[in-house]
């Protein structure tokens, strides 16, 4: 497991999480949303945004993604800014920061697997210069949220 952590992002402290058959390492300094996005503060007021491993597990491997928002556009919390198509599902991409949309991660066009192999580092989705969603959770809050979500899934599918 340590090798995986180093390939994803060597700098953050990692917090282990496990419940049922799902386990991961979460970057301690990131913010997380109830919709399973993460936010990482970058220099100059930029927030890098990606999907958590839980979201990727639910969606499956990425096939394609697109953004309706153009670089330089003003975006708001909760605004649909694009979509992502994966093997298990297709989903809207919501903005989890407010401010100026800086664009998507061009590396994903050629290396879609980065979304699943390095979700907290090179597999980021988009960047926004501005402010993160004030409802975003710290890592402990996200772990509690995951506990509730996984419990609900188990109740719906007891097998």
Predicted confidence band at 157 (pLDDT cuts at 50, 70, 90)? confident
Least confident segment among 11-25, 30-44, 82-96: 11-25
- Of the candidates 127, 108, 120, 105, the one whose C-alpha atom is nearest the C-alpha of residue 45 is 127
Top pLDDT among 55 and 159 is at 55
d(CA 112, CA 62): 6
- 96-146 residue pLDDT tens: 999 999 999 999 999 999 999 999 999 999 999 999 999 999 999 999 999
- 53-109 residue pLDDT tens: 999 999 999 999 999 999 999 999 999 999 999 999 999 999 999 999 999 999 999
Predicted confidence band at 7 (pLDDT cuts at 50, 70, 90)? very low
Predicted confidence band at 9 (pLDDT cuts at 50, 70, 90)? very low
CA angle 46, 59, 13 (to 5 degrees): 45
> What are φ and ψ of residue 32, in 5° steps?
-135, 150
Is pLDDT at 6 greater than 70 in this prediction? no
Q: Is 5 helix (H, G, I), strand (E, B) or coil?
A: helix
Q: Is 83 helix (H, G, I), strand (E, B) or coil?
A: strand
Q: What is the pLDDT of residue 84?
A: 95
Average pLDDT over residues 32-36: 97
- The answer to whether the beta carbons of residues 143 and 15 sit under 8 Å apart is yes
Q: Which domains does the chain have, with CATH numbers?
A: 18-150 (2.40.50.100)
């Amino acid at each position: 497991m340590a090798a995986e952590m180093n390939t994803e992002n060597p700098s953050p402290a990692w917090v282990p999480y496990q419940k049922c058959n799902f386990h991961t390492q979460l970057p301690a300094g990131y913010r997380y949303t109830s919709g399973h996005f993460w936010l990482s503060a970058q220099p100059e007021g930029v927030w890098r945004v990606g999907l958590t491993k839980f979201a990727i597990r639910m969606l499956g491997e990425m096939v394609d993604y697109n953004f309706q928002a153009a670089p330089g556009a003003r975006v708001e919390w909760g605004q649909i800014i694009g979509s992502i198509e994966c093997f298990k599902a297709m989903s809207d991409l919501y903005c989890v920061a407010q401010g100026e949309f800086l664009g998507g991660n061009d590396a994903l066009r050629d290396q879609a697997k980065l979304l699943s192999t390095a979700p907290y580092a090179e597999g980021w989705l988009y960047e926004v210069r501005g402010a993160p969603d004030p409802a975003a959770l710290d890592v402990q809050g996200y772990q509690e949220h995951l506990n509730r979500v996984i419990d609900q899934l188990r109740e719906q599918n007891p097998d």
